Chain A
């Protein structure tokens, strides 16, 4: 990277900033908030443009804007998607505060009209997508549970994991490389039910933004993407509620004023009831001696209080947890002896987070936000067993318990400033620091048996780290055609346990040049550093994923990404087209060593660092096409990604580069939402993806016994027994030979994945509000997409040619497991 060039650009930016300050002495500042008129909810990314000078601004994450304009008559247009635009014409002769309440468009409107649509061609930022909550709610959903992450997976450059999974694989990255924040607080695990649902309850959300590249300098700590999810603030003026009942879960949200016009709240909860069905069924199946169940819940809440025109405070929290349990029992008696056994197993994981923030408007150009955060992710597995043998007066009791936990806790503080010195500059700067405490694994064992007592806990190495960042970025506009966002992010990391210190200076830059009013070219460059790793197996994605810090033995991850593209707005802004190419390199990746996993290799003996390969490298590149229609009765998009994604570790796959599990050459998504009538909405999605790359043995070969093990100190020799040790059947059990992966790691491909989902919403207004009946058809043409593969053997025995009875054939075959053929689910929503 050419550091001189970056410094020059920053210098030029500063000079350009200073020039207008002196030259435009007769300019004044218009500042204020843009809110939704009905609820008082602040609108993020609303557009404010002086149509005469074509100078403009957008609101920040708290709905605030500041725009410096020359004195004289101005015509200020304030707009936001789905809201009616307002135009203010007045003579600007002094600094002015303008708080704008926009009205939501009438629900009777069938079409989304042309105005107010965010134009990608006007934005400097590239590789960023705003996902509409309304769109999320309109699309068909598995089990009737609309899901933010599932909709994001439909965007180009974003790939899902396996069937139904909520994992996000952005531009060749892995899930741990996504910074997923809820109201600015990082979430570590965003999946429920093994990945079929995400933790985000759409009813409680106000905005979702995804950055795939060209990251602004204010973000740091992850390599591949930023998913910035914001919760609603709650209605300042009146009480409203909404709920949803589906086959697997119900949810309810309530919002309203605490002090009308000054303070509001929102609280939203969701719980599944799969356990209510499975517990009685499993109890019956086990003859009353056992049961099994699973459920998850989410609880979101937020309050805010307007202290003054310049001060506002917010408090928000999230609690979510998955709980799976199995109870079993057995009793018998005979010969005067009674036996009783019982066993309980539990698996649970979840996040807890809380944030308190204070917005302060220092003057009409300087806005600040101070945030204190707490975040916790914990995984817990526990098992308790008890057996009792009664023989007359004698009772013998054995008890054992096992409690495994993995946890990460964060305490963070950050201070962000937005400074608007002139229409040509929008400067953001700030500082942030987070204290992490990692307990990658803690194993407690207790046993009471035969007079022996054991009660002990084994903790893995506990790491405490401090991760801090300092950033500055400037959104610069030079003339009507050119704009840029340049910045620097300086990160500092200190592992207190290992006394390891690390600095990282990460330049970020994004440029936009307008070829015409409707066509722009863009380019971006970003360096990112990540001081945290996720230890995960490449196989089944159970929540046995352990977050671990960068240590002296396991260094940090780094990446750089360059992207370039062209955006066009066609047919009077009816259609927007974006074509982007990207190239990304990652260093410092980790992976479990070959032959290791969660249980093997010392993880439970306290040394997770010895189980991982470090120094891995990743390369990802590709092209993304997004054709989007945002207006009219029919809206939606077509996304296509052509990509390559590889990994290389010195000690994995014999040092050869191999495809990443989610290396997907082609990825297509088509999303259509059609408003058939004012009260009926149809929707459909179709996805296609190249099959995942997995490890599947393709054969075997003979190997010799290792002379070291067979010949220890002369008590044997290397060929003293049968020299051929072979895999008689790769699925029938290992017999000492070599297992063959002909194409190496991830050398076998799933069949291509494709699926169509359909949905229909019937909306009806009632006296009390509105009700919506929805029907979702998941996998409409019942494509049996692979979830996993395994080998199955049906041995056939009979008379052998030598007349003896024996194995004639293994009849081995490859079996594909498909999870969901077609699922039709109704759901009922209501709003008041």
Chain B
């Protein structure tokens, strides 16, 4: 019996101390590589951000610590040498023209051009003429070499300009309820544009809605705020839930259609009332739309970057149920980063 008690007590002791042990273990050292980043667009300068990657155990990772200022950078256009790029740390001022296509309530299309002065930050490689801008439809490639970080290359083709050919609005197209059970109406915004059949373009839309509340003695105009694209086909299940998709819309969805049509959705949360106090749909004053036409690398990166950030910044649940890892895409051979491009189109719709 004594033996049994002895075994029992030793066992209990060992069990009690044997729950979890944490030990430091060696981790492979990171081999730094060149990181190339840029999102080229016809409205901005031809520029390339060059830095180095770093290991998870590295200390004191700051902007200046990872910036690479002493690389040799060459830029090519459509495969032909264009220029040597040099590092500039100073601000570059530029004047850009913002062009809006506007459809008036009378159905007349007009164009508004405004001039904006912008100070661009430096800390990037620019061509000798720093105000050189990339051209739509052209392929730009960068070759970067560094004495210790090796060589990296990447290429992107600037998407051609896309014309928004028309916009229509369908108020209260669909309704759903939120977590508190309130019903909300969603308004469908149908956007028609020319999707080039010979380019693999991806699209994202954003914009602002301005609407008028029909309040007694207060016919003011409120700004609903920015909306992001929801989906091509917003789906609703039997319980009224809507599935949303924030991914860039793939080119295959449009098949080079002329015109291609996409429907994006928004809702106005604030209830509006008529003069008798009855709820009525708000009166839409204008819809400002910006459409991004992106190359494939940027489109994928845009979605993955959002997901990676979300998976690392959410609350306590992520400690227990970590989100699946997001492996960012890169089109940089011999290094990391993303060399992408886009073209933007703006349109103001007045119902």
Contact = CB atoms under 8 A, between A and B. Distances in A.
B207 A713 contact: yes
B125 interface: no
A571 interface: no
B24 interface: yes
A383 interface: no
Interface of B: 4, 7-8, 10-12, 14-15, 17-28, 30, 35, 37-39, 41, 44, 49, 51-63, 66-67, 98, 116, 118, 120-121, 123-124, 179-181, 204, 206-208, 226, 235, 237-239, 241-245, 288-290, 292, 294, 301-302, 304-314, 317-318, 320-329, 336-338, 342, 344, 346
A653 B118 CA distance: 38
Interface in A778-831: 784, 787, 789, 791-792, 807-826
Interface string A526-556: 0000000000011110101000000000000
Contact of B21 (A538, A592, A738, A818): A818
Contacts of B320: 540, 542
Contacts of B12: 247
Given A654-B327, A745-B325, A738 B305 contact: yes
Interface stretch (A301-309, A431-439, A479-487, A605-613): A605-613
Given A247-B15, A537-B321, A815-B24, A654 B61 contact: no
A821 B18 contact: yes
Q: Which interface residue of B4, B26, B66 has the most chain A CB atoms within 10 A?
A: B66
Contact of B239 (A459, A816, A817): A459
A336 interface: no
A461 B243 CA distance: 12
A458 B242 CA distance: 12
Contacts of A538: 324
A706 B11 contact: no
Interface stretch (A4-12, A116-124, A721-729): A721-729
A715 to B, nearest CB: 8
B322 to A, nearest CB: 4
A623 interface: no
Given A700-B53, A816-B25, A823-B15, A724 B324 contact: no
Contact of B243 (A456, A610, A707, A811): A610
6 contacts: A458-B179, A594-B304, A699-B55, A700-B56, A726-B61, A816-B22
A79 to B, nearest CB: 40
B312 to A, nearest CB: 4
A412 to B, nearest CB: 27
A130 B179 CA distance: 52
A158 to B, nearest CB: 26
Q: Which interface residue of A605, A610, A703, A728 has the most chain B CB atoms within 10 A?
A: A703
B302 to A, nearest CB: 5
A817 B23 CA distance: 7
Contact of B206 (A653, A713, A724, A810): A713
A304 B346 CA distance: 77
A398 to B, nearest CB: 16
Given A594-B327, A820-B18, A708 B61 contact: no
A723 B121 contact: yes
Contacts of A741: 325, 327
Contact of A697 (B11, B51, B56): B56
Interface string A293-312: 00000000000000000000
Given A712-B290, A826-B7, A595 B324 contact: yes
Nearest to A811: B59
Q: Which interface residue of B63, B302, B305, B320 has the most chain A CB atoms within 10 A?
A: B305
A707 B56 contact: no
A707 B39 contact: yes
B244 A602 contact: yes
Contacts of A607: 235, 237, 241, 243
A809 B59 contact: yes
Nearest to A544: B321
A722 B321 contact: no
Contact of B63 (A456, A717, A718, A722): A722
B310 A817 contact: no
Nearest to B53: A701
A602 B120 CA distance: 39
Contact of B60 (A592, A594, A807): A807
Contact of B27 (A808, A814, A824): A814
A820 B14 CA distance: 10
A714 interface: yes
A598 interface: yes
A654 B330 CA distance: 9
Given A599-B321, A741-B327, A816-B24, 4 more contacts: A595-B306, A704-B37, A704-B39, A824-B10
A817 B313 contact: no
A731 interface: yes
B258 to A, nearest CB: 24
A718 B44 contact: yes
Contact of A813 (B57, B311, B336, B337): B57
A826 B8 contact: yes
Contacts of B237: 461, 606-607
Contacts, number: 287
A503 interface: no
B29 to A, nearest CB: 10
B70 to A, nearest CB: 16
A818 B21 CA distance: 5
Contacts of A458: 179, 239, 241
B24 A719 contact: no
A689 to B, nearest CB: 17
A724 B51 contact: yes
Contacts of B98: 714
Nearest to B337: A701
Contact of A822 (B18, B24, B121): B18
A595 B308 contact: yes
A247 B10 CA distance: 12
A791 B27 CA distance: 10
Given A591-B324, A597-B321, A723-B121, A700 B307 contact: no
Contacts of A702: 35, 37, 49, 51, 66, 337
Contacts of A501: none
Contacts of A809: 59-60
Contacts of A610: 243, 245
B22 A539 contact: no
A704 B54 contact: no
B49 A825 contact: no
Interface in A464-520: none
A202 interface: no
Contacts of B310: 595, 600
Contact of A714 (B52, B66, B305, B346): B346
Interface in A570-621: 591-600, 602, 605-607, 610
Nearest to B292: A708
Given A247-B12, A702-B337, A812 B21 contact: no
Nearest to B244: A602
B226 A712 contact: yes
B14 A454 contact: no
A734 B324 contact: no
A775 interface: yes
Contacts of B313: 733-734
Nearest to B33: A701
B181 A456 contact: yes
Contacts of B7: 775, 824, 826
Contacts of B56: 697-700, 729-731, 740, 791, 812
Nearest to A704: B37
A703 B63 contact: no
Contacts of A456: 179-181
Contacts of A722: 63, 121
A396 B323 CA distance: 38
A744 interface: yes
B37 A728 contact: no
A445 interface: yes
B323 A595 contact: yes
